[in-house]
Amino acid sequence: MPKRNDISSILVIGSGPIVIGQACEFDYSGTQACRALKEEGFKVILVNSNPATIMTDPDLVDVTYIEPLSVAVVEKIIAKERPDALLPTMGGQTALNLAMDLFEAKVLEKYQVELIGASVEAISTAENREKFKAAMTEIGLEVPESGFAHSLAEAIKVGEEIGYPLIIRPSYILGGKGTGIAKNRETFIQLASEGLDASPVNEILVERSIAGWKEYELEVMRDKNDNCVVVCGIENLDPMGVHTGDSITVAPIQTLSDPEYQKMRDAAFRCIRRVGVETGGSNIQFAVNPETGDQLVIEMNPRVSRSSALASKATGFPIAKIAARLAVGYSLDEIINDITKKTPASFEPTIDYVVTKVPRWAFEKLPGTKDLLGTRMQSVGEVMSIGRTFPESLQKAMRALEKGRFGLNCDPAEAALAKFSVDQLLEKVTLATTERIFMLELLLRRGVTPEKVHEVTGIDLWFLDQINLIVEARLFLDEAAEERKIQKDKSSGPLFDGKTWKWLKQLGFSDAQIAWRFGLDEDAVRKDRLVQKVFPTYKTVDTCAAEFQAETPYYYSTFEDEDELRPATKERVIILGSGPNRIGQGIEFDYCCVHAALALKEAGYEAVMVNCNPETVSTDYDTSSRLYFEPITYEDVLSVIEKEKELGAGGLKGVIVTLGGQTPLKLAGLIPEELILGTSAHSIDLAEDRQMWAQLLAELKITQPKGALVRNLQEAEEAVLEIGFPVLVRPSYVLGGRAMEVVYEMADLRRVMAELGEAGSLGIEGGLSAQRPVLIDKFLEDAIEVDVDALRDAGGDVMIGAVLEHVEEAGVHSGDSACATPPPTLSPEVISAIENYTFQIATALSVAGPLNVQYGVKGTDVFVIEANPRASRTLPFVAKATGIAMAKIAARIIVGDSLSSLSQEGLIPKRARILNANYLDPSSPFYKGNDIAKANELKTGRGGETDFVCVKEAVLPFDRFPDVDALLGPEMRSTGEVMGIATNFPLAFYKSQIAAGNIIPNSGCVFLSLSDHDKKQGLEVALVLRGNGFSIAATEGTYEYLEKNGLTPDVLVAKLCVDETTQPRVSLASSDLPNALEMIEQGLIQLVINTPRGRGPHADGQYIRHAAQVNHIPLVTTIAAAKAAAAGLAETSLKGLDIISLQEMYALYESK
């Protein structure tokens, strides 16, 4: 009995913004699920607050809501759409929790919506640790000795019964938030209170720590007929104690014998059956005692997960797509394996390669955090690599990470560890850190035995032995390089014979590693290798280890005998992806690459994707015509280019480097010029090169903030005397504002320059930035920042996608700032000037593709801050806000299509604002330069007044890093974004705050602590809030100002005295007045508005912000956001929140 006929419409809940622990893997899963359900003929309704997702593309499902994921909003959607069923298993923990909340609130019952994929009972059994433990014990599976606690006193009692070390896990949490290991009473009390706090049900599990045990995961699927299969087994390199999201993990399982594996498989099936996941996938984690083989069940997730995305990419088995089909009634044997097209999905994939996943962290962006991995997940992204053996796979992953590494050491960055002695290293590797894997290699290279390393780390000997094979080859390289240096006559001969070359490549060594060791140029090394006829061979990921013919073009490189690529049939375009997610480069760029692939396939090309991020839609084998799961490095990309050239018919048209963020852009100058499609490498350089850029703007008579280029502190000090404080200091060629800072005084300038001077800080992202000087610009204080996303075709026509007005003033990184379109406050004249400048810059840079320009607007003066001739982070948001497929159009322009031909084709709607190539030529009929009368048309950027304002808000990871100050600044720290849509700006902003989880309360006490600079506007905010029934607490200065201006706050709050000598302790002013910290802790404050000036540990507002964060009190740190929030609050209390689907919104646009 296949598909269910008793349901016809299904609501799918997405996972919301990208946060740590919940990244774009849920866009991948959700997109697959939505597509599958559509293919089955269901009406699909989707809600997700994240606009930078493929799943929210309006043509993917029938009805798309980009709305906050709250019970109230989703209830409205359910009331309006009346879906028959709700699929909660595709949107991570967010969707699962929301589904449970909807159930608890009886919304599902009221509207008779059936949960499919997982029942309430199954979800609560899996998610509630007490219930889960009882269920496992009932079926004879062991779980770690443990007990639950709902209060600190209870926790201490439970903890003391079990004995230290103890692990603390809060119930109903995401990605291990609030989890930790305590070795003594003191840390236990701290972690237990944090954990109780982190759990939405104030419950923690206290259990015996099994740190050091081996950790495994099984991805299991079950259908309605009770057929169960294991899709993939995963072994963690890091033993228990490190969150699996922060562990290096390997597929398949390496060190379990078949009886042990089968025992685990049996246990997994018993678990999924007992929990009661009737259809779909689950992830089940196990711990294995390496001394005895004892197995414990750690946890299970009754939904698709980060691991299931990895398992799908690792095996080629599309878990989410199949889970969606199972949820609507199919059984596994009724579904065909996509890859073989012949065999059914009711089998267990087997693989003939090794997959390694390595997380990517962002500690460098979060000063104050320790590089120390534990049971709470901290990584922001990951890479996956495929090799035929583990060493090859591991080294590929290391260079794919884009941390400036060429592999597992044997590169310039290895120098950072050279200073440590063996003893120091042995001490360091006892703790899991991001650098530990490199230390393992160095220890082994220094002659420490694998046994010893195993003893101190608990890492399985098998992995260490394999790393030792890399070490062995490294020692060989060391000797060969020395020998070559001594014997001058040899220095012109070949480096190695073919066999040796192949041996090195099979161990995953990159040409760059070898070039570095021999002091040679990478191209010379590459040539040497090619002379020895050692080329990569591409093999297929086929789910079946070649038993059946694979139909799906999903490839990885290795160095063996046979290449499996089949001849191409059409002209090809290579799209370079964006690599691992990190702060500053996330899902937005993957979105652009996916759209490029789709658009180019539709246009008749073979779209060839190169990427190494397993979480993404771009690495779904369905997305492109051919997928190379490869690191995005010079060598790996060049190899793909060479291979694609050989594939015959149609030839290789070229490579797109401008859609994947900084990753492919860094390669632009290295790829043969004639192959770069769209904007030339020269133009990209021109926009980055300080002097050339300044000269260009001068020629165009476009103003930019005063600035200078400096190479040392002396030059910096001189420059600042000329420019005047405040200044913005930053290195060139960086994305996401790496190491940017606003500096108000000389002492800060000296500190910042010293930090930039450290090789590690600048060099860490590799590439050109290390060789580039530091930029110092006049900081435009109080300016409004504006982003413009435009597209220019080679013929000179320019399309203005949207003008985005930032909510936070200039100085907050654009990626961390909220922004709105159409711009709420800009005058028609300013918008016109911005359009003119954008047109001129696009023309001057000969852009053929996307262009993002950032402006600072002070009054009527418009300054250009920077221009980037590449896809921007805001492109997906612009596409969602306007209904214009910006990224698809960009891709078509890049391959040579014109805006006018794409308009004719229908890809560009008539409402799009296109400036003709002769836009600024007064003699041309297309001249519109001075046409201020058309102001309203200009204002919207869409050619017509609209009824809707869209706001993008950034989502920040501060709740995961309590030691980091929650202040916004020029360095980007956000991990994701949400979008609010409403009929006016305040409402849209308010919605975006709800979606971002910054839920502004509608009553209570607001605590105001404002910098002098912000006090005037603060008064307006205070008036609005009081008008809405808030009581107001304020610190002395703010209190006086408000009082003087006719608004007397209700509470005067004592100023904090920070004792620098006892940091981080705060000593409180001896005063009878209440102090902010106590008030926050006692729950007397519901909203904190704290807007300081400058940064640094001495800013005492830091303690208030920290307290707000820890106590989950909504926190606003800029006066602009405070104003918007207050206005939104007022509007909402008047009108209430309404919902609208994208399809409805676009239809309204279209009808105008």
Partner 1 sequence: MTLQHDQRQSAHKTFHKTLQRPPALLVLSDGEVFEGYCGGSLLDEGGASQIVTGEIVFNTALSGYLEVATDPSYAGQVVLFTYPHIGNYGVSLDDRESEKPHCRAIVTRALPVRPSNWRSEIDFESYLKDNGVPIITGVDTRRLTRHLAAVGSLNCAIGRASESVLTQAAKQEPGTLLQDFVKDVTTPKRYMYVANSGSSKSKIAALDCGMKQSILKDLAKIGDVIVLPASTTAEEILDLGVKGLFLSNGPGDPEALGHIATTVDALVGKLPIMGICLGHQLLATALGAKTYKMAFGHHGVNHPVKRLSDNQIEITSQNHNYAVAADKLPGVSFTHINLNDNVIEGLAVEKANAISVQYHPEAAPGPHDSKYVFDRFKAMVNN
Residue 818 touching partner 1 (CB under 8 A): no
Residue 290 touching partner 1 (CB under 8 A): yes
State both tokens at 261: 């594996």
State both tokens at 255: 């060190």
Among 254-262, 427-435, 569-577, 934-942, which window interacts with partner 1 (CB under 8 A)?
A: 254-262
Among 338-346, 646-654, 752-760, 855-863, which window interacts with partner 1 (CB under 8 A)?
A: 338-346
Residue 352 touching partner 1 (CB under 8 A): yes
Tokens 């420019």, residue?
723
| DSSP code at position 485 | H
User: 214-229: b or e for each residue (b if 16 or more CB lie within 10 Å)?
Assistant: bbbbbbbbbbbbeebb
Exactly one of 6, 489, 561, 1060 binds partner 1 (CB under 8 A); that residue is: 561
Q: How far is CA 841 from CA 37, 536, 850, 869, 1096, in A?
A: 45, 42, 12, 10, 37
Residue 913 touching partner 1 (CB under 8 A): no
Exactly one of 60, 456, 480, 713 binds partner 1 (CB under 8 A); that residue is: 480
For every residue of 846-883, DSSP letters joined together read: T--EEEEEEEEEETTEEEEEEEESS--TTHHHHHHHH-
Q: Mask: binding to partner 1, 382-411, rule CB under 8 A, as x and -?
A: ------xxx---------------------
Residue 271 touching partner 1 (CB under 8 A): no
Measuring CA to CA, which residue among 848, 365, 352 is closest to residue 583? 365
For every residue of 313-359, DSSP letters joined together read: HHHS--HHHHHHHHHTT--GGGSB-TTTSSSBSSS--B-SSEEEEEE
Exactly one of 24, 311, 354, 955 binds partner 1 (CB under 8 A); that residue is: 354
User: Nearest approach, Cβ of 668 to partner 1 (angstroms)?
Assistant: 34
Q: Which is nearer to partner 1, 349 or 577 (CB)?
A: 349
Residue 255 touching partner 1 (CB under 8 A): yes
Residue 475 touching partner 1 (CB under 8 A): yes
Q: How far is CA 529 from CA 224, 477, 628, in A?
A: 54, 15, 22
Q: Which is nearer to partner 1, 253 or 1140 (CB)?
A: 253
Q: Which is nearer to partner 1, 410 or 1113 (CB)?
A: 410
Q: Which is nearer to partner 1, 529 or 892 (CB)?
A: 529
Residue 342 touching partner 1 (CB under 8 A): yes
Residue 715 touching partner 1 (CB under 8 A): no
Residue 348 touching partner 1 (CB under 8 A): yes
Q: Which is nearer to partner 1, 201 or 546 (CB)?
A: 546
Exactly one of 499, 910, 1044, 1135 binds partner 1 (CB under 8 A); that residue is: 499
Residue 213 touching partner 1 (CB under 8 A): no
User: Nearest approach, Cβ of 442 to partner 1 (angstroms)?
Assistant: 15
Measuring CA to CA, which residue among 651, 413, 411, 652 is closest to residue 512? 411
Exactly one of 9, 146, 151, 254 binds partner 1 (CB under 8 A); that residue is: 254
Exactly one of 191, 351, 647, 799 binds partner 1 (CB under 8 A); that residue is: 351
Residue 261 touching partner 1 (CB under 8 A): yes
Point out which residues pair with 798 in neighbouring strands: 792, 915
Kindly report whether the peptide bond that precedes residue 773 is cis, defined as omega within 30 degrees of 0: no
Q: How far apart are the first and last CA of the chain?
A: 48
Among 498-506, 527-535, 836-844, 1113-1121, which window interacts with partner 1 (CB under 8 A)?
A: 498-506
Q: Which is nearer to partner 1, 65 or 503 (CB)?
A: 503
> How large is the angle between the packed helices 511-518 and 461-486, nearest 10 degrees?
40
Q: Which is nearer to partner 1, 13 or 221 (CB)?
A: 221
Residue 1031 touching partner 1 (CB under 8 A): no
User: Nearest approach, Cβ of 398 to partner 1 (angstroms)?
Assistant: 19
Residues 335, 333: Cα–Cα separation, whole Å: 5
Residue 465 touching partner 1 (CB under 8 A): yes
Residue 333 touching partner 1 (CB under 8 A): yes
The region that residue 1093 occupies, defined by phi over 0 for left and psi between -120 and 50 for alpha, beta otherwise, is beta
Q: Mask: binding to partner 1, 536-555, rule CB under 8 A, as x and -?
A: ---x----xxxxxx------
Residue 316 touching partner 1 (CB under 8 A): no
Half-sphere exposure of 504 (CA within 13 A, CB side): 29
Residue 225 touching partner 1 (CB under 8 A): yes
Residues 816, 155: Cα–Cα separation, whole Å: 38
Residues 933, 923: Cα–Cα separation, whole Å: 19
Residue 487 touching partner 1 (CB under 8 A): no
User: Nearest approach, Cβ of 460 to partner 1 (angstroms)?
Assistant: 6
Residue 300 touching partner 1 (CB under 8 A): no
For residues 1135 and 59, the answer to whether their CB atoms sit within 8 Å is: no
User: Nearest approach, Cβ of 263 to partner 1 (angstroms)?
Assistant: 9
Residue 268 touching partner 1 (CB under 8 A): no
Q: Which is nearer to partner 1, 562 or 1072 (CB)?
A: 562
Residue 1011 touching partner 1 (CB under 8 A): no
Interface with partner 1 in residues 849-908 (CB under 8 A): none
Residue 248 touching partner 1 (CB under 8 A): no
Query: Residue 745: is it exposed, middle or buried by C-beta count within 10 angstroms (0-12/13-18/19+)?
Result: exposed
Exactly one of 252, 280, 329, 614 binds partner 1 (CB under 8 A); that residue is: 252
Query: Residue 778: is it exposed, middle or buried by C-beta count within 10 angstroms (0-12/13-18/19+)?
Result: buried
Q: Taking the mean position of all CA atoms in its chain, how far away is CA 1022?
A: 36
Exactly one of 202, 369, 433, 500 binds partner 1 (CB under 8 A); that residue is: 500
> How large is the angle between the packed helices 306-315 and 319-327, nearest 10 degrees?
110
Residues 1095, 964: Cα–Cα separation, whole Å: 12
For residues 231 and 348, the answer to whether their CB atoms sit within 8 Å is: yes
Residue 562 touching partner 1 (CB under 8 A): yes
Q: How far is CA 584 from CA 663, 814, 882, 974, in A?
A: 11, 10, 23, 8
User: Nearest approach, Cβ of 560 to partner 1 (angstroms)?
Assistant: 4
Q: Which is nearer to partner 1, 368 or 447 (CB)?
A: 447
User: Nearest approach, Cβ of 400 to partner 1 (angstroms)?
Assistant: 20
Residue 346 touching partner 1 (CB under 8 A): yes
# of chain residues touching partner 1 (CB under 8 A): 69
3-state secondary structure of 703: coil
Kindly report whether the peptide bond that precedes residue 1074 is cis, defined as omega within 30 degrees of 0: no
Exactly one of 20, 74, 77, 229 binds partner 1 (CB under 8 A); that residue is: 229
Exactly one of 40, 101, 154, 472 binds partner 1 (CB under 8 A); that residue is: 472
Q: How far is CA 615 from CA 24, 259, 576, 743, 781, in A?
A: 6, 32, 16, 37, 39
Tokens 């009737």, residue?
278
Exactly one of 257, 691, 1061, 1070 binds partner 1 (CB under 8 A); that residue is: 257
3-state secondary structure of 409: coil
Measuring CA to CA, which residue among 161, 145, 147 is closest to residue 294? 145
Exactly one of 9, 151, 202, 350 binds partner 1 (CB under 8 A); that residue is: 350
Residue 361 touching partner 1 (CB under 8 A): no
Point out which residues pair with 952 in neighbouring strands: 819, 979
Binding site for partner 1 (CB under 8 A): 225-227, 229, 233, 252-262, 265-266, 290-293, 331-333, 342-344, 346-354, 388-390, 447, 449-450, 460-462, 465-466, 468-469, 472, 475-476, 479-480, 499-500, 503, 539, 544-549, 560-562, 564
